[in-house]
Chain A
Amino acid sequence: AQSVTQLDSHVSVSEGTPVLLRCNYSSSYSPSLFWYVQHPNKGLQLLLKYTSAATLVKGINGFEAEFKKSETSFHLTKPSAHMSDAAEYFCVVTRTLDSNYQLIWGAGTKLIIKP
């Protein structure tokens, strides 16, 4: 069965320092993986997705994530945090091989940016 675990419920970094949001997954096949961001009282925006092409995926707003099969991880990184990055981030895996909507969501990581 597929599952996804976001290892930190809150991450706090200073503006201008690197961001690391951790995600581990469990899957019986090679899954599609996504990162979504949710700003307060806003909708969910797709940051990036991995679909078995390049293992290093670049997304919007300077974020990127690396798919590591040996570690079953898909951590999200950004070299330099900006105040506007403060939001909640969700790691998502597809539940089945051929479904785009049967998604398993992590519990989310709240990213706090200190001035």
Chain B
Amino acid sequence: NAGVMQNPRHLVRRRGQEARLRCSPMKGHSHVYWYRQLPEEGLKFMVYLQKENIIDESGMPKERFSAEFPKEGPSILRIQQVVRGDSAAYFCASSPGDRAGLNFGAGTRLSVL
């Protein structure tokens, strides 16, 4: 059973470009969570999704950031018009239910030039 898969592992974008980060949850997991880790800090919750639904987006910046988890395919975290402050590691986690423990992926490290 493969773990949570994130790709790409590293992503380099210039200011103003779009970044798309993908997350495939563990098999059988229908709950996906995105977190951001800034340098020298712990993870900050961004958004919680189930298939085709956003359950909690209280941690998402109001502009430029969006997330989806379609019926088929991976969850996507999309950052439009990236700025240098978006440079961070973005982690995805999945779980089989809303009371279960989280399994984390290896993260995508976004660098904005």
A46 pairs with B106, CB closer than 8 A:
no
Across the interface, A105 reaches (CB within 8 A) one of B4, B43, B107, namely B43
**Stretch of A66-74, A76-84, A95-103 with 4 or more beta carbons under 8 angstroms from chain B:** A95-103
Known A43-B3, A49-B101; contact A101-B106, beta-carbon cutoff 8 A: no
B42 pairs with A106, CB closer than 8 A:
yes
Distance A44 CA – B42 CA, assembled complex (angstroms)? 11
B106 pairs with A41, CB closer than 8 A:
yes
Distance A77 CA – B104 CA, assembled complex (angstroms)? 23
Across the interface, A90 reaches (CB within 8 A) one of B42, B95, B101, namely B42
A19 to chain B, nearest CB (A): 20
Q: Which residues of B contact A41 (CB under 8 A)?
A: 9, 106
Q: Which residues of B contact A101 (CB under 8 A)?
A: 33, 45, 48, 56, 93, 95, 98, 102
Count chain B CB atoms within 10 A of each CB in A90, A98, A102 and give the residue with the most. A102
Q: 1/0 per position for A34-64, CB-CB distance to B under 8 A? A: 0010000111111001000000000000000
Q: 1/0 per position for B63-99, CB-CB distance to A under 8 A? A: 0000000000000000000000000000101010011
Distance A45 CA – B3 CA, assembled complex (angstroms)? 11
Chain A positions within 8 Å of B, measured between CB atoms, are 36, 41-46, 49, 90, 92, 98, 100-108
